[in-house]
Amino acid sequence: MDQFKRLPLILFMVILTSCASGNGNEGEAQPVQTSKTEPPHTQATPNENEPPVYDVTSPIHTGELYANQQGHTLTGDVYVIPQFEVPQLDTTRRIWIYLPPSYEMDQNKRYPVLYMHDAQNLFDSLISFSGEWSVDEAIQKLSLEDEKWESIVIGIENGGDDRNNELVPWVSSYGFGGKGDAYVDFIVETLKPYVDEQFRTLTDPAHTSIAGSSLGAYISLYAALTYPDVFGHVGAFSFVMWFDDNRMMEYVEQVGKLEDVQIYVDAGMMEAEIVEPVKALYRQLLSTGYGEEQLKFIIDPEGAHIESAWKKRFPDAYQWWMQKQI
């Protein structure tokens, strides 16, 4: 809908229907004004003195959603869709949307898009598991220095207890996995078409990236290998494959070299159990035919398996794959 593309930052009346844990707090109602071209994302209520109920299937600015809460650490224009339909998994999922600084000012500009997993941990330390990546702060800072770093970020919250199943495409010998194909199909067949329709995006794989950490790194590489016509860049932070019985290595060999896919992969020395497997993955990619210009491999001497480490490495990784898009 073109109306949302021009959605200004005006306050709506809302009831806070959800947080990352699923438990929300009620917000105070405020007067609202709307125009014919800017429909409010609310539903009418019988009593005009009661606050309207927020439409949980539409984007709402976090400045409105958290207007009466303290402690959030969001920067820039960040929106949330509380309940986005995921037909491939027969569920709904909370989706986060970061828009770059020039988005509202330059109505003719289109932007690269970065899809990321575990959105609970990307933007807001208040709802994170153990700290945030500060993706919004990092891109906002880079973008204000030079608009060439601007992009839209789409964060997909994980499925909680089902996370391990959704981020692994095959059932492992450890008894989890098997829903990864459905999860990737959701991004490709449902989420990306919605994003490309609602926002001014550059839709080609050269301007579409996918990134995550741990199992999020695993499914990101799998997604690009499976859909190279959709994803042109991979950010695989603290890549893990201890559970997969060598399936990813075999898949890399089976797919072969993809000419137009760039892959960033890293690990931290404090993650001793994954360093050698990540090095083996890098060697496998090289032997498959990927050149140094397509690969970036980092071992962080102080890196642990935690959000603060990914926060530290994200800006450099982001600039590496974004540089390929300029």
Same domain, 108 and 141: yes
Instruction: Indicate whether 154 and 27 sit together in one domain.
Output: no
- The CA distances from residue 227 to 146, 209, 212, in Å, are 30, 11, 16
Together in a domain, 17 and 80: no
67 falls in which pLDDT band (50, 70, 90)? confident
The total number of structural domains in the chain stands at 2
Segment 106-113 shows an average pLDDT of 96
What is the structure's pLDDT at 325? Answer: 85
Counting runs of H as helices and runs of E as strands, what totals does the chain give?
A: 10, 11
The answer to whether the CB of 127 falls within 8 A of the CB of 80 is no
Q: Residue 62 domain-assigned?
A: no
Whether residue 83 is contained in a domain is answered as yes
Which residue range is the domain that position 239 belongs to?
71-323
- 120 shares a domain with 205: yes
pLDDT in tens, 261-311: 999 999 999 998 999 999 999 999 999 999 989 999 999 999 999 999 999
Q: Domain containing 278 — which CATH number?
A: 3.40.50.1820
pLDDT per position as a tens digit, 40-52: 343 433 455 555 4
1 & 116 share domain: no
